Structure 1
Amino acid sequence: MVFDERADEEPEEPDPEADLELGPDIPTPPEAPPASEASEELQKMFWSVVVLLNMAILAASLGVMYIVFRGRLQLGGGLLLVGLLGGAHAYRIYRRYEYG
């Protein structure tokens, strides 16, 4: 049986500079502009439209599912109506800011 002579020696410590030489230079991405560059009014409008549209999509999709899968026309129709009205209101907010 042959023994490896290096097994008795202490392992070499890694060279941190050697790791830097292994790969290509990767350019760093440019810094993103700060999120606060938009006006406070624009930020408020944006988040209100996002939340309103999320709620409208949820209500409309639940309404359709209640109508189709459960046959509950009154509950499903109400949810669908709330979803459509919420979407229309979000669109109105968006248009009012864009042209107003």
Structure 2
Amino acid sequence: MFDEPADEEPDEVAPEEELDFDVVDSESTLPPEIPQAPEPPPASEASEELQKMFWSVVVLLNLAILAASLGVMYIIFRGRLQLGGGLILVGLLGGLHAYRIYRRYEYE
């Protein structure tokens, strides 16, 4: 049953007949060169004091957002008003402190 070739199957092609097409130069089919982007400026152009202030504000704000959102979730989902309120207060104080650091640097 499977040993007999089907009528629709083509006969085997000799290897020399398989290469019956024109060979195209591969470089002529490549797209043109894309120009390289200019080098970005060094990451340390800002002063060390500015970098320290920036990262301290980033860390403080991340912690403040985390604490405040956890506080809201403790109040809503667990009903733990004292823990949730404390976390919200820590988040608000952290956010205010980060704002104070930012404002102090801006006016100097």
Structure 2: runs of 5 or more not aligned = 1-10, 20-24
| 2:61 corresponds to | 53
1:5 paired with 2:19, answer no
Find the partner of 2:30 among 17, 22, 25: 22
- Flag the 1:7–1:48 CA change in 2: closer, same or farther, 3 A: farther
Q: Could you give the per-residue CA deviations for residues 50-78 of structure 1, whole angstroms, max 9, x where no partner exists?
A: 00100000000000000111110000000
TM-score by length of 2: 0.76
Q: Which amino acid aligns with 2:30?
A: L
TM-score by length of 1: 0.82
Find the partner of 2:51 among 34, 43, 53: 43
Q: Could you give the per-residue CA deviations for residues 15-44 of structure 1, whole angstroms, max 9, x where no partner exists?
A: 8x728x511332211211101111000000
| 2:105 corresponds to | 97
What is the CA–CA distance in structure 1 between the aligned matches of 2:87 and 2:72, rounded to whole Å?
8
Superposition RMSD in Å? 2.3
Q: Larger radius of gyration, structure 1 or 2?
A: 2
What is the CA–CA distance in structure 2 between the aligned matches of 1:4 and 1:81, rounded to whole Å?
83
What is the CA–CA distance in structure 1 between the aligned matches of 2:13 and 2:97, rounded to whole Å?
80
Q: How far off its partner does 1:4 sit?
A: 3.8
